[in-house]
């Protein structure tokens, strides 16, 4: 069974750093792109970027380039999304999902990130 399990909810202060994770199982983790999607409170879905864990090739949406870093450790089948300096506007639910061609077929349960002073 394909599963993506994300790390738990986080509460951070502005300016702090954060790294959240997404662990894949039940399939060849290195053979599929993993994407990250943001959903701000009460809003729609935003495609942030993708990574190919096999060689760590990474692509970002122009809206998120320079704002976050996507990485992966294929030895432990885990992808990451990180911030070096959080802002209140980063408060959102973040989902990882597996890319099947152009679509996202399996999704993690989401990680809620709250940034507040």
Q: Does 8 bind other proteins (CB under 8 A)?
A: no
In terms of CB distance, is 8 or 75 closer to other proteins?
Answer: 8
Asked if 82 and 19 count as a contact pair (C-beta separation under 8 A), the reply is yes
Among 61, 67, 69, 91, the residue binding other proteins under the rule CB under 8 A is 61
Q: Residue 82 in contact with residue 97, Cβ under 8 Å?
A: no
3-state secondary structure of 30: helix
105 binds other proteins (CB under 8 A): yes
With contacts defined by CB under 8 A, how many residues of the chain interact with other proteins?
24
Alpha carbon distance 10, 113 (integer Å): 5
Contacting residues toward other proteins, per CB under 8 A: 35, 37, 44-47, 50, 59, 61-63, 95, 97, 99-105, 107-110
């Amino acid at each position: 069974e394909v599963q993506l399990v994300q790390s738990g909810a986080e509460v951070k202060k502005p300016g702090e750093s954060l790294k959240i994770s997404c662990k894949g199982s039940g399939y060849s983790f290195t053979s599929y792109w993993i994407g990250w999607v943001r959903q701000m409170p009460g809003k729609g879905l935003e495609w942030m970027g993708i990574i190919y864990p096999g060689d760590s090739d990474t692509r970002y949406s122009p809206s998120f380039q320079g704002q976050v870093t996507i990485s992966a450790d294929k030895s432990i089948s885990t992808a990451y999304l990180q911030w070096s300096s959080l802002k209140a506007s980063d408060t959102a639910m973040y989902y990882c999902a597996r890319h099947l061609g152009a679509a996202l077929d399996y999704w993690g349960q989401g990680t809620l990130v709250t940034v507040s002073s």
